[in-house]
């Protein structure tokens, strides 16, 4: 066999191996590609208890409760269609409050409550740190203008 044919066969074999590896990775990640589940996904598709997942949505107003131990928080996450009860033990981020977005990492228990091990507070595009309130962004100079509030 000529060396030209050997190189062609080797290149084709490498291409097939790369495509096979890509397809295998894609099939392994097909259900895990979602950044997080929303409460309606949990309600319609279900998530097995104990499986590590992320749950995202808005903290329902009036649902935030601090337990007597000072570190346990109970609240409800909603997406407007469904609600999921969440329990978190630890220190919540500064941006975490009722009516704000949250992504909770953890797993569901057998009663259907999401037990979060970590909370990631989300903010909208209009978020402004307290220290910078009263300042405006100037599109032409790409700088903040105005005096911050004390």
Q: Is the pTM of this model over 0.85?
A: no
Q: What is the pLDDT of residues 59-101, one digit of tens each?
A: 999 999 999 998 999 999 998 889 999 999 998 888 888 888 8
27 lies in the same domain as 45: no
Alpha helices in 29-107 (DSSP H): 39-45
Q: Which helix (H) or strand (E) holds 17?
A: helix 3-28
The enclosing domain of 54 has a CATH number of 2.40.50.140
Q: What is the pLDDT of residues 42-70, one digit of tens each?
A: 888 888 888 888 898 889 999 999 999 98
Question: Residue 5 belongs to what domain range?
Answer: 1-33
59 lies in the same domain as 104: yes
Task: Report yes or no on 146 lying in a domain.
Answer: no
Would you call 96 helix, strand, or coil by DSSP? coil
114 lies in the same domain as 84: yes
Which 8-state DSSP code applies to residue 37? B
pLDDT above 90 for 28: no
Give the pair of three-digit tokens for residue 24.
């295998």
Average pLDDT over residues 102-117: 91
Give the confidence band of 137 by pLDDT, cuts at 50, 70, 90.
low
Average pLDDT over residues 24-48: 78
Task: Report yes or no on 141 lying in a domain.
Answer: no
Task: Report yes or no on 76 lying in a domain.
Answer: yes
48 lies in the same domain as 112: yes
Task: Report yes or no on 62 lying in a domain.
Answer: yes
């Amino acid at each position: 066999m000529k060396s030209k044919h050997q190189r062609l066969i080797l290149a084709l074999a490498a291409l097939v191996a790369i495509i096979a590896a890509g397809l295998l990775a894609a099939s392994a990640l097909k259900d895990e590609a979602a950044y997080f589940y929303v409460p309606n996904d949990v309600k319609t598709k279900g998530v097995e208890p104990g499986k590590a997942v992320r749950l995202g949505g808005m903290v329902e107003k009036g649902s935030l409760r601090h337990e007597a131990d000072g570190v346990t928080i109970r609240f409800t996450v909603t997406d407007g269609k469904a609600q999921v009860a969440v329990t978190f033990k630890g220190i919540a981020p500064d941006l975490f409050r009722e009516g704000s977005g949250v992504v909770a990492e953890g797993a569901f228990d057998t009663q259907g409550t999401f037990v979060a091990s970590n909370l990631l507070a989300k903010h909208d595009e209009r978020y402004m740190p307290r220290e910078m309130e009263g300042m405006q962004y100037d599109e032409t100079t790409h700088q903040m203008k105005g005096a911050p509030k004390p």
